[in-house]
């Protein structure tokens, strides 16, 4: 945690639960990614954290933006960004929303099906399109379903079709899965994309862009490769499969841009046992699965959690089960994951949940159990 | 679906996605529950759907309310209910919130641990308390973790302690799990509670109340026993284990009160396949897991879904995978559950998701992917 965040908590003593994001860290992350991938254009995945302060900062730094909906496009425009730096990256769009985005000046659209291509050709004539392909997502911590993308033969057909439909087949995208720690996953996908580029070249379709998606991780409880390592692996792979004829590359970091910039402070509401002989205590926080920590689903993302005032020595720490404050029995954060907390932990103590800058505020439920959504401060 | 809801959709043609709740059905459900359990007092579980119209209706009908937080207590009071009809049923409460509830006139509190009892004794002196015990939750469709309740020996100790701490040990609560279809689950719990009552009676503690919790189901895709059957099973069980000395009983229906009263209308955003040979189509709706259908988690709750304009004959229906509109790969509704839809289904078609009056609006995320929370109309 940065000194700036520590000072904010100390001086402001905000009501819990709340998230504090250090914009300096976002800026450092932007530069680290830009340095690691000097030839790639960065499209920040707005869905990770659409705070106006973050969008304004990244606009100023020259970032482009990957958006999932018209409201996200409007947020980016409101931050002062021009529409030529916006990608409408959701492969699932209402035709009216494509039209609205086109009216707002957006000229770059994702698709992975014929029906979507037809919508784009009607509602955004002349726009650039990129086709998303399926990848396995092996090695990613956040599950990647088959929801997005199509297989390679279908992508080939869809890119050929695009040419005949008044839109510009500009490239291919894939996503290796969020919080991807296996660097070889990019290589596998880049190899397949390079083959597709060559097949289409033969047919006179020169694709110009490869969208490498996101997947850049945040450090949670265990180490992850740094940006430099990702950049090197991706660059090597591009050289290996494309030679000297490198396409334009796009990356869409979300978690990798803002995850490490945020810390949530939460209050312990209750510490209890279920029976006199219970080995594990239950620790209930004032934030849970429905208040912003949705990514604890199936204990997928395991945030580092610090107890305030604890010196960190594990001597007096005992295992705990962590749960949220709602009356929903599914609102349990960590039961199998081994979290330990001081033996004298009690209601009123505060904890800090680190690396929570991404995928927290927007996941919070409107008013589940009457609890307000997660409050955010960008400093 | 009721005629009133059908007419509303036809005349108003609301923007999708939206939930329409027929208040007449809520009223019918209230009467059916009251008739089926004539000796029980109904505490509506506000978390299921806190719409002001629903709270006002139930206040007028004489219902009491089970609340999870101070904002929920305030919503019930704003609906015109008096605080003597409110239970603060969450076993996880900040001491400041207990104090606030007490100031607002609430005199009934749940607990399942010594630390919580201490908070209540300090912040709500003289209040009535009930201790929640653990049950297995077998047979429930929505998972019941060990998050709430303590074991029987601990409950015994906690009720004895309450007497010495200036609060009134008034009863015991349990919950058999939401959408509970196994009627014998109540009998097992009531048997245990009756034993506990007798043990405490010997010590001079006369408990007066048994809180049977919720669990009353809504009909989704398969049949469930009706209210009458639940009432009979519970009454028989109470007689069997308590004889003629029946305690006061409380029930806390949420899903059973409002689930069947609501219908969500949603638009098909995209129909596609992942490859030319894909057996199952992917159908993407404009509502998903983060827009209100959180209970599709692990495909736990399977809503009946009707395609508008489909005559219901299965002749032309083909299997589909259903997913939401966000860029989150976890936003898939049903992949293993067998849903079928017409072969000619296309973007722009509308579907109605039935029995969605409970646990939908409040679960909706604030603004995930830029999508607005679920809009609700109570008619």
Q: Determine the 3-state secondary structure of A158 from DSSP.
A: helix
**Which of A136-150, A269-283, B202-216, B327-341 is predicted with the least confidence, judged by mean pLDDT?**
A136-150
- Binary contact (A369, B75; C-beta < 8 A): no
Q: Mutate which of B149, B345, B370 to test chain A, going by most A C-beta atoms within 10 A?
A: B370
Measured between alpha carbons, how far is B131 from B111 in angstroms, rounded to an integer?
5
Last residue of a domain, one of A197, A229, A256: A256
Shared-domain flag, residues A135 and A237: yes
Q: Which residue of B has its CA nearest to A67?
A: B369
- Binary contact (A150, B274; C-beta < 8 A): yes
Q: Average pLDDT, stretch B190-196?
A: 95
Shared-domain flag, residues B169 and B317: no
Shared-domain flag, residues B248 and B153: yes
Is the model's pLDDT at B142 over the cut of 90? no
Is the model's pLDDT at B137 over the cut of 70? no
Whether residue B252 lies within 8 A of chain A, CB to CB, comes out as no
Last residue of a domain, one of B201, B227, B258: B258
**H/E run at residue B333:** strand B332-342
Shared-domain flag, residues A249 and A310: no
Q: Model confidence over A259-310: pLDDT tens digits?
A: 999 999 999 999 999 999 998 999 999 999 999 999 999 899 999 999 998 7
Is the model's pLDDT at A315 over the cut of 70? no
Residue B3 lies in a domain: no
Q: Which residue of B has its CA nearest to A285?
A: B92
Q: What are the C-alpha distances in Å from A12 to residues A266, A346, B7?
A: 14, 23, 52
**Which of B213-217, B256-260, B338-342 is predicted with the least confidence, judged by mean pLDDT?**
B213-217
pLDDT computed for residue A10 by the predictor = 94
Q: Which residue of A272, A276, A364 is in closest CB contact with B365? A: A364
Shared-domain flag, residues A93 and A207: yes
pLDDT computed for residue A224 by the predictor = 86
Inter-chain contacts counted by CB atoms under 8 A, chains A and B: 225
Q: Which residue of A267, A275, A329 is in closest CB contact with B144? A: A329
Q: Give the CATH number of the domain where residue B151 resides.
A: 3.20.20.10
Shared-domain flag, residues A168 and A185: yes
Question: Could you tell me the pLDDT band of residue B1, with boundaries at 50, 70 and 90?
Answer: confident
Shared-domain flag, residues B185 and B161: yes
Residue A332 lies in a domain: yes
Q: Average pLDDT, stretch B207-222?
A: 89
- Binary contact (B271, A115; C-beta < 8 A): yes
pLDDT computed for residue B215 by the predictor = 82
In which domain, by residue range, is B333 found? Answer: 260-378
Pairing relation of β-strands A168-173 and A317-323? unpaired
Q: Average pLDDT, stretch B188-212?
A: 95
Residue A69 lies in a domain: yes
Measured between alpha carbons, how far is B10 from B2 in angstroms, rounded to an integer?
13
Say how many Å lie between the first and final Cα of chain B, rounded. Answer: 13
Residue A2 lies in a domain: no
Q: Model confidence over B5-64: pLDDT tens digits?
A: 999 999 999 999 999 999 999 999 999 999 999 999 999 999 999 999 999 999 999 999
Backbone angles phi, psi at B274, to 5 degrees: -90, -15
Shared-domain flag, residues A189 and A312: no
Shared-domain flag, residues A340 and A365: yes
Q: Give the CATH number of the domain where residue B356 resides.
A: 2.40.37.10
Helix, strand and coil percent figures for chain A, each rounded to 5: 35, 25, 40
Show the DSSP H helices in chain A as ranges. 3-12, 23-36, 52-61, 70-78, 95-103, 114-123, 152-163, 184-202, 227-242, 255-258
Measured between alpha carbons, how far is B111 from B90 in angstroms, rounded to an integer?
7
Structural domain total, chain B: 2
Shared-domain flag, residues A89 and A33: yes
Shared-domain flag, residues B254 and B271: no
Q: Model confidence over A131-147: pLDDT tens digits?
A: 999 987 677 776 667 89
Measured between alpha carbons, how far is B277 from B326 in angstroms, rounded to an integer?
25
pTM, rounded to two decimals = 0.94
Last residue of a domain, one of A256, A275, A306: A256
Say how many Å lie between the first and final Cα of chain A, rounded. Answer: 13
pLDDT computed for residue A143 by the predictor = 65
Q: Model confidence over A148-178: pLDDT tens digits?
A: 999 999 999 999 999 999 999 999 999 988 8
Q: Average pLDDT, stretch B265-292?
A: 95
pLDDT computed for residue A181 by the predictor = 81
In the residue annotation, B378 being an active-site residue is answered as: no
pLDDT computed for residue B315 by the predictor = 66
């Amino acid at each position: 945690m940065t000194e700036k965040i520590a000072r904010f908590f100390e001086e402001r003593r905000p009501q819990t639960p709340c998230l504090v994001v250090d914009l300096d860290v976002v800026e450092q992350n932007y530069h680290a990614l830009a340095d690691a991938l000097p030839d790639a254009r960065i499209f920040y995945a707005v869905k990770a954290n659409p705070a106006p302060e973050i969008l304004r900062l990244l606009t100023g730094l020259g970032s482009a933006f990957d958006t999932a909906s018209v409201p996200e496009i409007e947020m980016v425009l409101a931050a002062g960004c021009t529409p030529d730096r916006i990608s409408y990256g959701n492969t699932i769009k209402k035709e009216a929303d494509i039209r609205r985005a086109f009216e707002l000046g957006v000229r770059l659209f994702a698709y992975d099906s014929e029906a979507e291509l037809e919508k784009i050709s009607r509602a955004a004539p002349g726009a650039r399109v990129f086709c998303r392909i399926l990848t396995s997502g092996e090695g990613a911590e956040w599950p990647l379903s088959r929801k997005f993308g199509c297989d390679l033969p279908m992508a080939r057909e869809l890119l050929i079709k695009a040419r005949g439909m008044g839109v510009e087949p500009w490239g291919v995208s894939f996503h290796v899965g969020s919080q991807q720690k296996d660097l070889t996953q990019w290589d596998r996908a880049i190899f397949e994309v390079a083959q597709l580029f060559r097949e289409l070249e033969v047919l006179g379709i020169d694709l110009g862009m490869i969208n490498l998606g996101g997947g850049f991780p945040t450090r949670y409880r265990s180490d992850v490769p740094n940006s430099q390592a990702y950049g090197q692996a991706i660059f090597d792979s591009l050289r290996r499969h494309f030679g000297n004829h490198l396409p334009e590359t796009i990356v869409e970091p979300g978690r990798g841009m803002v995850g490490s910039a945020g810390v949530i402070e939460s209050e312990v509401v209750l510490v209890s046992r279920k029976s006199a002989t219970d080995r594990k205590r239950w620790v209930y926080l004032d934030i849970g699965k429905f208040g912003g920590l949705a990514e604890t689903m199936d204990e997928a993302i395991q945030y580092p959690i610090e107890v305030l005032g604890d010196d960190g020595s594990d001597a007096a720490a005992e295992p705990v089960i962590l749960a949220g404050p709602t009356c929903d029995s599914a609102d349990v954060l960590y039961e199998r994951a081994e979290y330990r907390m001081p033996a004298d932990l009690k209601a009123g103590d505060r904890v800090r949940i680190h690396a929570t800058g991404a995928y927290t505020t927007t996941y919070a439920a409107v008013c589940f159990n009457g609890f307000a959504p997660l409050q955010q401060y960008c400093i």
